[in-house]
């Protein structure tokens, strides 16, 4: 495909070329007593729910994606044809994107007593979101003038993309508030310190234009557009003339620190029949478990990169033909792109100082019902909330809305069937399996039309815990009197 001249197209296509990557979403085990360290990030109070004295997630990975403007072709989930190609989805509609990625490293949970537990570990996380107003695009459009022509009825044009990527270390405490005959009440809190790895945002607002009729080719002139784009200075760090050590040191110096907290509580309604049997795990048998948590209340901080800028208005005679000349194949970097943009806009201002991107803060309601000794049903509602002021924090958002998960589970094995409704109204059928230390699942089982494979995602975790022998209480040998 030939180079596409761009100014109006630039921010629309940023959502195609940005590395998209919010939340700990091991959805299958949410609410489970055996979620252990994987459940702490969904509700810090859940660290007390597990009968295991400790567990460590050595490694976990989770990817979740929902978009409607590109699709994967030649993808065979059976592995017979591994070739993969991504294509833009043509048409006239609103584009949307929401992608979540996290990597868990050494996430540890330890029960310190019958009434308290601690958790700690490290995560690498990413939250990205993007959207646009309705616009028309087909992959045969190679010129700005053509793009403006087919979008005369879609004014004003608007689009944005935001991506926040950070590394965090956390410490969590769960404690028992009450342990009565019929219920248990636990609470928990997690404090997380992070360092911003990469922050990127871009927006185009109020894109408007008009048509000038010409004998051979009608010309479309831009009359109004505002651009706002920024990125973190640590992405400017690489100097080919410097050593790798010097470059990494510069990257670290340009990376700023932020923080966040999680708060949660659980109300567990005891199974009275199991209590009467004097089972040594009766405190972990329940009929209902109710969870409430506020997650990711915080932000990542970044320093503006040197080419970050905002603009307003346009100069006279900036039409589709002029855009083709100004934004051609000679643009090899953001500095050259900014030089060209300055020749087309009314006002151009560089951005300096710091910017903050809020984490995908949300309120999560979780209800877990034990049907039999091995069968459970979990329901979870996730509601995004805005606590930090939008005027000072660039916002990201979680995609979850409602998930119902039937499961059959033992300490070692589990089968899960998450049924999810995303925030944009998509319905996903997921599946997961636990076999010993390994948990593997799909947010959406990759079946259906070729334009739907990119939606969904996977998760994988490897968690170790004490063996059954270590968990069993050794009986004392009492000698018979002679």
pLDDT at 212 over 70: yes
Residue 202, domain CATH: 2.40.160
Question: Could you read off the pLDDT of 50-72 as tens digits, one per residue?
Answer: 889 999 999 999 999 888 877 66
Within a domain: residue 84? yes
Q: Which residue has the tokens 């659980």?
A: 266
**How does residue 244 score in pLDDT terms, banded at 50, 70 and 90?**
confident
pLDDT band per the 50, 70, 90 thresholds, residue 390 = confident
Q: What is the mean pLDDT of the chain?
A: 85
Q: What is the pLDDT of residue 9?
A: 40
Residue 432 has pLDDT above 90, yes or no: yes
Q: What is the 3-state secondary structure (H, E, C) of the chain?
A: CCCCCCCHHHHHHHHHHCCCCCCCCCHHHCCCCCCHHHCCCCCHHHHHCCCCCEEEEEEEEEEEEEECCEEEECCCCCCCCCCCEEEECCEEEEEEEEEEEEEEEEEEEEEEECCEEEEEEEEEEEEEEEEEEEEEECCCCCCHHHHHHCCHHHCCEEEEEEEEEEEEEEEEEEEEEEECCCEEEEEEEEEEEEEEEEEEEEEEEEEEEEEECCCCCCEEEEEEEEEEEEEEHHHHCCCCCCCHHHHHHHHHHCECEEEEEEEEEEEEEECHHHHHCCCCCHHHCEEEEEEEEEEEEEEEEEEECCCCEEEEEECCCCEHHHHHHHCCCCCCCHHHHHHHHHCCEEEEEECCCEEEEECCCEEEEEEEEECCCCEEEEEEEEEECCCCCCCCEECCCCCEEEEEEEEEECCCEEEECCEEEECCCCEEECEEEEECCEEEEEEECCCCCCCCCCCEEEEEEEEECCCHHHHCCCCCCCCCCC
Q: Is there a domain that residue 478 lies in?
A: no
Is residue 276 very low, low, confident or very high in pLDDT (cuts 50, 70, 90)?
low
Domain that holds residue 151: 8-471
User: For residue 69, is it within any domain?
Assistant: yes
Q: Residue 104: inside a domain, yes or no?
A: yes
Mean pLDDT (whole number) for 395-419: 92
Longest pairwise C-alpha distance within the chain: 119
pTM, two decimals, is 0.84
Domain count, the chain: 1
In the structure, what pLDDT confidence band is assigned to residue 248 with cuts at 50, 70 and 90?
confident
- The pLDDT score that the predictor gives to residue 481 is 52
**Residue 20 pLDDT > 50:** no
Contact yes or no for 357/392 (Cβ under 8 A): no
pLDDT at 132 over 90: yes
Rounded to 5°, angle at Cα 126 from 125 and 131: 160
423 found inside a domain: yes
Asked if the model's pLDDT at residue 194 lies above 90, the reply is yes
Is residue 226 in a domain? yes
pLDDT at 19 over 70: no
Residue 198 included in any domain: yes
Higher local confidence (pLDDT), 328 or 165: 165
Averaged pLDDT, 29-40 = 92
- For residue 14, pLDDT beyond 70: no
Is residue 77 in a domain?
A: yes
Average pLDDT over residues 36-61: 93
């Amino acid at each position: 495909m030939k180079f596409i001249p761009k100014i109006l197209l630039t921010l629309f296509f940023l959502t195609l070329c940005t590395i998209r990557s919010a939340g700990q979403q091991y959805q299958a085990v949410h609410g489970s007593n055996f979620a252990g360290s994987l459940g702490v990030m969904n509700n810090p109070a859940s660290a007390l729910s597990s009968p295991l004295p400790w567990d460590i997630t050595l490694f976990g990975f989770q990817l979740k994606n929902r978009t409607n403007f590109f699709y994967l072709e030649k993808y065979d989930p059976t592995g017979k044809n591994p070739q993969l190609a991504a294509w833009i989805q043509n048409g006239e509609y609103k584009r949307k994107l929401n992608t979540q990625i996290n990597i868990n490293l050494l996430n540890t949970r330890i029960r310190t007593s019958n009434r308290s537990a601690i958790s700690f570990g490290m995560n690498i996380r990413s939250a990205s979101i993007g959207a646009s107003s309705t616009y028309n695009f087909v992959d045969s459009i190679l010129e700005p003038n053509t793009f403006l022509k087919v979008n005369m009825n879609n004014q004003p044009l608007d689009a944005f993309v935001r991506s926040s990527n950070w590394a965090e270390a956390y410490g969590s405490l769960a404690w028992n508030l009450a342990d009565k005959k019929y219920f248990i009440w636990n609470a928990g809190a997690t404090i997380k310190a992070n360092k911003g790895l990469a922050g990127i945002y871009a927006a185009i607002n109020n894109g408007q234009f008009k048509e000038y009729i010409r004998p051979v080719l009608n010309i479309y002139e831009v009359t109004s557009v505002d651009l706002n784009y920024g990125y973190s200075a640590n992405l400017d760090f690489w100097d080919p003339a410097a050593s790798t050590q010097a470059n990494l040191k510069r990257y670290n110096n340009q990376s700023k620190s932020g923080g966040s907290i999680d708060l949660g509580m659980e109300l567990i309604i005891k199974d009275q029949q199991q209590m009467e049997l004097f089972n040594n795990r009766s405190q972990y048998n329940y009929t209902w478990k109710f969870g409430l948590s506020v997650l990711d209340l915080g932000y990542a901080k970044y320093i503006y990169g040197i080419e970050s800028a905002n603009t307003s208005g346009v100069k006279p005679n900036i039409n589709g033909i002029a855009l083709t000349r100004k934004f051609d194949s000679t643009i090899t970097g953001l500095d050259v792109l900014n030089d060209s943009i300055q020749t087309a806009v009314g006002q151009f201002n560089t951005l300096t100082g710091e910017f903050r991107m809020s984490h995908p803060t949300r309120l999560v309601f979780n209800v877990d019902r034990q049907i039999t000794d091995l069968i459970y049903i979990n329901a979870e509602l996730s509601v995004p909330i805005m606590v930090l002021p939008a005027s000072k924090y660039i916002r990201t958002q979680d995609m979850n809305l409602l998930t119902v998960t039937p499961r059959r589970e033992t300490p070692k094995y589990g089968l899960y069937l998450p049924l999810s409704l995303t925030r944009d109204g998509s319905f996903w059928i997921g599946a997961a399996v636990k076999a010993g230390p390994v948990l593997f699942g799909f947010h959406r089982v990759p079946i259906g039309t070729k334009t739907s494979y990119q939606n969904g995602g996977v998760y994988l975790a490897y968690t170790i815990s004490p063996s059954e022998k270590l968990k069993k209480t050794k009986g004392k040998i009492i000698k018979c009197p002679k």
